[in-house]
Amino acid sequence: MKQILIALLFLNACTSFCQPWYLKIIDPFNGKREKATDFFRIEDTLVIRTLGACGDKLCTTLGKYSTANNEMYQVEYLDLVEGGFSVMFGNDKFILSSEDKIQNEVISVSQVDNPTLNHISTIDLKISDSRYYYYTIKRSIEFDNKFFIGCQASDNQTYIPYPGWYNDQESAVFFVLDENLQTDTILILPPSSGAHLRIEDLAVGPDSILYVSFLEKYLKSDVPVPYLEIRKVLYGFDKNYNKVFEWTGPNLDIQESWACLAIGLDSTIYMNHKHDYRTYLMAMKPDGSVQWECLLDSTIGWNLYNIRRITIADNGDIVGAGTISSVIDELGVSGFLFRVDSNGHLKWKRAIRVNKGFDLTVPLIYPYETGLEDLTELPNGDLISVGYVRKYVGSTLPDGPYNFDIWIVRTSSEGCLWEDCPYIQDIVTKDNYIPFVTPLNEWVADFIPPHGFPSEIRRYTFSADSVLKDGKYYHELIYSINMSGGPWISGGFLREESGRTYKWLNNMPERLIYDFNFGIGDSLPGVDANQATRYVTQVGSMQLLDGIPRKSIEFNSICGQSRWVEGIGELEDFMYSEVFCSLWDGVPLNIRCFSTNGQLLYLRPDLSGCYTSAVTDVEMGAIRVFPNPGSGILYFETENEEPITNLMIYNCLGALVLTANNLLPQNNGVNISALPPGVYTGQVHFGDGETRAFKLAVKE
């Protein structure tokens, strides 16, 4: 709990002063397992339902969350309300459907008072004198002033002789209650052929039709060897409970995917489903014909998407929330948001994570897990999602090894937590990330080749110009064994994007070699037998010689330990463990010293000095630029009366964005009005060969 409070203080500070959007972990339940499963929105209040632990059973907690003040202001434990996944509202009362998690013999429906969140009453539902003996709760919805309670009813009298599957038949059941929670009717929907018909989601269209999506397992008997097949089924019911719409999807992969529903104002039906192990969002016309399908998966790699809720934005876009797990990258499970326009074009998708719930002690065997269960759009276009964060609490039972906290995520309409909006957004992401792949950086390193070859002292930097390769721009990594400079030897081509550094490989996909979005439990796999997968064991910060704390990430593998530092790269075995695995002990720290813009950032502790080069002669602050911050004409002030033969200004990624020639200090200025707001670095070269560097802030 102490770590969560520290994390919340950090979040509040960061979101108050440097970011317009935020995410929060809410832990008002004293470390119990609490997952937000659903909410009901009343103006600027979200009434959030959680699935939590109360002794030996699962129970419910309700909390009121203000979207105006961004805070949970009322929380009530409901020990008499068992676990469930929906919140409905009627007669100024919240209606909560639940299940008996121990016996599973009944479905219960509870009333909770709106102002106080106090429990009022609970009724139990069961089909009397029937063969159904086991009930599990699914989705519930209010329809035509009645409450539709969706559940599954298992029947042990129908035997399915197929190994690997349950032998019971499972029918979909709706208990329909009036506003006084009196049973209006009971709808029983058996599967078409002897297996399971499972309710997945419910939605009401503008034509007053209740649509229900199902996953059906049916016995496929028109083949030489009968087997169970999986498909999606969609039904529509009118107010008299007559089936007025039916759609049966193609046979799907054996992997079951949750199908969510949303209905547009023109009665277009939106539903997600899988085929060929890929996740699609589908638009269906009211006549049952498919209008379009949008592929959500990446065309490279294999991610597993589990969409938990979709809704329609005010502009007609479809937005969704759920979880995504990467099979290849071993990133664990992340919260997931996406947005598709009404024509089926994917606008964006974001994987949103919380870095192990801010707990840096999480062991490697527990990759982090976050998930989003429900979402809504606010009047200003922001998106709010609720879900859970898995928190490691120790290996001693009954607390360990982990619990869950409620997670509330608020993003912009673009799904962004931060102004810099990468695909994977982690709470450790910084808006002032310090780049590594830039020609302003220079370092000296011991190069210790394998198998007894003589060692070298190398000077590294990046080429000033970028090179277009395979449609992307890379800087060439160059090195020299002559400390006075040159001849330069190519060390490959690198590029940097959103805290990640990639290396270009001829006729092969580029290789990820750094990812400063990593958290504990993440890994960087090797690519051949000489490499090993490196696992993140610690995430922290390291203060360099410029006094600025930068993110540091520590790894462990069979090759040994290594450490990355933001803006520098790898301190141990630089550009070496990326190629080979060190097979002997005693390999010293590889980096001797590192500088950027001529300012020394790192000096190896066992050295009293470091090799110098032309770059280290550049003095920061030896030239004054004004106004700074500025937005129009930039002027220079220096003791050097020689003309400025060349001026170069670089953005935060090291890209050259402005040049000028033949300027007279104190007389000539440079127009910087075309530069976007941000922080820049620059170099000036005088007629006598002297070089100076400066930093510049451009304002709006």
pLDDT digit string, tens, across residues 528-538: 655 678 888 88
At residue 306 the predicted structure's pLDDT band, cuts being 50, 70 and 90, is: confident
Asked which of 85-94, 229-238, 358-367, 503-512 is least confident by mean pLDDT, the reply is 358-367
pLDDT on residue 544: 80
pLDDT-based confidence at residue 147 (cuts at 50, 70, 90): very high
Per-residue pLDDT at 267: 94
Return the higher-pLDDT residue of 194 and 337.
337
Q: Band of the pLDDT at 519, cuts 50, 70, 90?
A: confident
* Structure token digits, residue 666: 């104190």
Q: Is the pLDDT assigned to residue 438 strictly greater than 50? A: yes
209-247 per-position pLDDT tens digit: 999 999 888 777 777 777 777 888 899 999 999 999 999
Q: Which range, 173-177, 391-395, 571-575, 578-582, is most confident?
A: 173-177
131 three-state secondary structure: coil
Tokens 């059906």 belong to residue: 216
Query: What pLDDT is stored for residue 430 in this prediction?
Result: 42
Contact 258, 307 (CB under 8 A): yes
Kindly state the average pLDDT of the residues 465-486: 78
Find the range with the poorest average confidence among 38-47, 186-195, 264-273: 186-195
Segments of 100-209 assigned E as strands = 107-113, 119-125, 132-143, 146-155, 169-177, 183-189, 196-204
At residue 312, the pLDDT reads 96
Q: What is the DSSP string of 489-514?
A: EEEEEEEEETTEEEEEETTEEEEEEE
Summarize the confidence of residues 462-486 as an average pLDDT: 79
Each residue of 48-84: b (16+ CB within 10 Å) or e? bbbbbbbeeebbbbbbbbebeeeebeebbbbebbbbb
Q: What is the mean pLDDT of residues 514-532?
A: 74
Q: Are 566 and 529 a contacting pair, CB within 8 Å?
A: no
Q: Which of 142, 147, 158 is nearest to 123 (CA)?
A: 147
At residue 278, the pLDDT reads: 77
pLDDT over 50 at 7, yes or no: no
In this structure, what token pair is assigned to residue 543?
Answer: 């203060």
Residues 221 and 206: beta-carbon distance below 8 Å: no
- Provide the pLDDT confidence category of residue 557 given band limits of 50, 70 and 90: confident
Q: Can you tell me the mean pLDDT for 561-580?
A: 74
Least confident of 14-18, 97-101, 359-363: 14-18
Contact 22, 410 (CB under 8 A): yes
Model confidence at 268: pLDDT above 90: yes
pLDDT band at 83 (very low <50, low <70, confident <90, very high): confident
Is the bond into 629 cis (omega within 30 degrees of 0)? Answer: yes
| Per-residue pLDDT, 375 | 94
Assign 615 a pLDDT band (cuts: 50, 70, 90): very low
8 A C-beta contact, residue 295 and residue 280: yes
Residue 155's contacts (CB-CB under 8 Å, 6 or more residues apart) are: 131, 132, 133, 168, 169, 170, 171
To the nearest whole percent, how much of the chain has pLDDT over 70? 74
The burial class, CB within 10 Å (0-12 / 13-18 / 19+), for 106 is: middle
530: left (phi over 0), alpha (psi -120 to 50) or beta: alpha
- pLDDT at position 431 is 41
Greater confidence (582 vs 44) lies with 44
Domains of the chain by range and CATH? 441-615 (no CATH), 618-698 (2.60.40.1930)
Could you give the CA distance from residue 685 to residue 681 in angstroms, rounded to a whole number? 14
Confidence at residue 560, expressed as pLDDT on a 0 to 100 scale? 74
Mean pLDDT value across residues 642-660: 74
- In this prediction the pTM is 0.60
Average pLDDT over residues 663-679: 78
What are the residues whose beta carbons fall under 8 Å from the beta carbon of 379, sequence distance 6 or more?
none
| pLDDT of 552 higher than 80 | yes
Number of Cα atoms under 13 Å in the Cβ half of residue 384: 23
Is residue 11 classed as helix, strand or coil in its secondary structure?
helix
Interatomic CA distance for residues 316 and 69, integer angstroms:
27
Cis before 435? omega within 30:
no
Residues 6+ apart with CB under 8 A from 434: 548, 550, 566, 567, 652
Cα separation, 571 vs 610, in Å, equals 15
Which DSSP symbol is given to 258? P
Of 71-75, 358-362, 514-518, which gets the smallest average pLDDT? 358-362
Checking if the pLDDT of 9 tops 60, the result is: no
- String of b and e for 117-133 (b: at least 16 CB within 10 Å)? bebeebeebbbeeeebe
- The model's pLDDT over 118-127, given as tens digits with 9 standing for 90+, comes to 999 999 998 8
Position 158 confidence tier, pLDDT thresholds 50, 70, 90: low
- Average pLDDT over the chain reads 77
Cα separation, 647 vs 215, in Å, equals 65
At 281 the pLDDT is 92
Encode pLDDT of 282-304 as tens digits: 999 988 899 999 988 754 345 67
Q: Based on the number of CB atoms within 10 Å of its own CB, is 661 exposed (0-12), middle (13-18) or buried (19 or more)?
A: exposed
